[in-house]
Amino acid sequence: MIKDLIIQKLTPHVDHRGYLIETFRKDKIDFDPTMMYVSYSKPNVRRGAHLHHYQQDYFIFIGPANFRVVVIDNRKESETYGEIADFYVGENNPAYVIIPTNCWHGYENVSDHLGMVINIPDKLYRGIDYKEPVDEVRECWSELYDWPEIRD
């Protein structure tokens, strides 16, 4: 397992009305979100690969749709440098995933319908009033990882 990568299963609390899922509790994890956004991905859309030098992403995968997530430890000083995590989360396996800084990461919607991902990162995109440089490095997946065409 990649050092500092957190994959936490989430439990739906179901009753006759539907269900509720707690996605963040300050008393359970030391994380300080600064903003939140929601993205939707069409089936078979792969996002990434990218990394952040200063920001940690806190992705919430609760559906709709299932996602394949890949994380590669790019931190030369890390005891898990070069390790790869490749796993599935989402509608059938609700979880949040915290990506450490300087780790390549991305995800793919592996369902046949539109998928939603929530992110509550610990840094503001482009800083206060969008006045700072973007903390993101992008790379083509083919340069980093042989992402086989596997579907769940």
Q: What is the mean pLDDT of residues 10-22?
A: 97
Residue 124 has pLDDT above 60, yes or no: yes
pLDDT of 149 higher than 80 = no
Q: Which residue has the higher pLDDT, 81 or 139?
A: 81
Q: Residue 69: what pLDDT?
A: 97
Burial of residue 142, with CB atoms counted within 10 A of its CB: 0-12 exposed, 13-18 middle, 19 or more buried:
exposed
The answer for 27, left when phi > 0, alpha when psi is -120 to 50, beta otherwise, is alpha
Residue 143 has a pLDDT of 86
Query: What pLDDT, in 10s, does the model give residues 29-70?
Result: 999 999 999 999 999 999 999 999 999 999 999 999 999 999
Domains, the chain, in order of start with CATH, read 6-144 (2.60.120.10)
Residue with tokens 């539109």: 114
Question: Looking at the predicted structure, is the pLDDT value of residue 147 above 80?
Answer: no
Report residue 11 as tokens: 């439990």
Angle at 146 between CA 142 and CA 148, to 5 degrees: 120
Share of the chain above pLDDT 90, in %: 90
Does the structure show a pLDDT above 70 at 102?
yes
